[in-house]
């Protein structure tokens, strides 16, 4: 594994010891970023079930300003820190050992707004849409945030749910990638429009 493009292009990435982690291949990673980028001008990325940290590190290399890495496995956390150091991106990153649901609650208390989310849970878990709903309910996502879910190709997430619209699906052997765009509540949008109209009238 390596960083495919950007400031850390070509830097090798360590794998997590053991067989419990299924890292995203360079081929799939390159395909993902060609669909959502390929480069960025700042923003915050959340890498849940981060594993090696490869997706979040790739996003930093391609221009994201900050990244938050979450994983329950101590070996993964250690590997992510090593990969961040190897790519010289550790100053732009935070790494936490936590489960996804608890991490969402903690991050929401910090009143963060996430621009891009990578969700690559173990294939036995099929609750990425539930986790996204929690992010929505806790106002953790930037309007028009991009969400990338990597999952078993035999399983399919809905084209639309809550405030999330599927914009792309792709199959890569046993893996599938589903990409969503997040839209804030219609009510919030209406309030913002009214406030802008009132401001314009006052001027």
Domain-embedded: residue 196: yes
Is 67 a member of any domain?
A: yes
Q: Is residue 115 part of a domain?
A: yes
- Pair 23, 54: CB distance under 8 Å: yes
The predicted model scores a pTM of 0.88
Give pLDDT, residue 41. 95
Q: Would residue 3 count as lying in a domain? A: no
Q: What does the H/E/C string look like for the chain? A: CECCCCCCCCCECCCCCCCCCCCCCHHHHHHHHHHHCCCCCCCEEEEECCCCCHHHHHHHHCCCCEEEEEECCHHHHHHHHHHHHHHCCHHHEEEEECCHHHHHHHHHHCCCCEEEEEECCCCCCCCHHHHHHHHHHCCCEEEEEEEEEEEECCCCCCCEECCEEEEEEEEECCEEEEEEEECCCHHHHHHHHHHHHHHHHHC
Q: Degrees (nearest 5) of the Cα angle 76, 25, 178?
A: 95
**Which tokens in the block code for residue 78?**
């250690």
Task: Quote the number of domains for the chain.
Answer: 1
Which pLDDT score, from 0 to 100, does residue 23 have?
80
Other Cβ atoms within 10 Å of 20 Cβ, number: 11
The verdict on residue 13 lying in a domain is no
Q: Answer whether residue 143 is part of any domain.
A: yes
pLDDT tens digit at each of 203 positions of the chain: 999 999 999 999 999 988 666 788 888 999 999 999 999 999 999 999 999 999 999 999 999 999 999 999 999 999 999 999 999 999 999 999 999 999 999 999 999 999 999 999 998 899 999 999 999 999 999 999 999 999 999 999 999 999 999 999 999 999 999 999 999 875 454 445 555 666 555 55
Q: What is the CATH number of the domain that holds 170?
A: 3.40.50.150
pLDDT at 18: 81
User: Is the residue at 8 inside a domain?
Assistant: no
Tell me whether residue 120 is in a domain. yes
Q: Could you tell me which of 157, 153, 159 has the C-alpha nearest to residue 172?
A: 153
Looking at residue 189, its pLDDT comes to 46
Domain that holds residue 170: 26-202
């Amino acid at each position: 594994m390596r960083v495919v493009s950007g400031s850390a292009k070509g830097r090798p990435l360590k794998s997590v010891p053991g067989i419990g982690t299924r890292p995203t291949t360079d081929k799939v990673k390159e395909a993902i970023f060609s669909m959502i980028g390929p480069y960025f001008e700042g923003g915050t990325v959340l890498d849940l079930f981060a594993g090696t940290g490869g997706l979040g590190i790739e996003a930093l290399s391609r221009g994201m300003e900050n990244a938050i890495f979450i994983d329950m496995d101590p070996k993964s956390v250690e590997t992510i820190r090593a990969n961040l150091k190897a790519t010289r991106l550790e100053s732009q990153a935070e790494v936490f050992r936590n489960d996804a649901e608890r991490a969402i609650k903690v991050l929401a208390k910090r009143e963060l707004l996430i621009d891009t989310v990578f969700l690559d849970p173990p294939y036995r878990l099929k609750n990425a849409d539930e986790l996204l709903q929690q992010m929505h309910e806790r106002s953790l996502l930037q309007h028009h945030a991009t969400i990338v879910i990597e999952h078993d190709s035999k399983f399919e997430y809905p084209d639309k749910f809550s405030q999330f619209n599927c914009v792309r699906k792709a199959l890569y052997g046993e893996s599938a990638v589903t990409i969503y765009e997040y839209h804030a509540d219609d009510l919030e949008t209406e309030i913002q429009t009214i406030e802008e109209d009132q401001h314009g009238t006052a001027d």
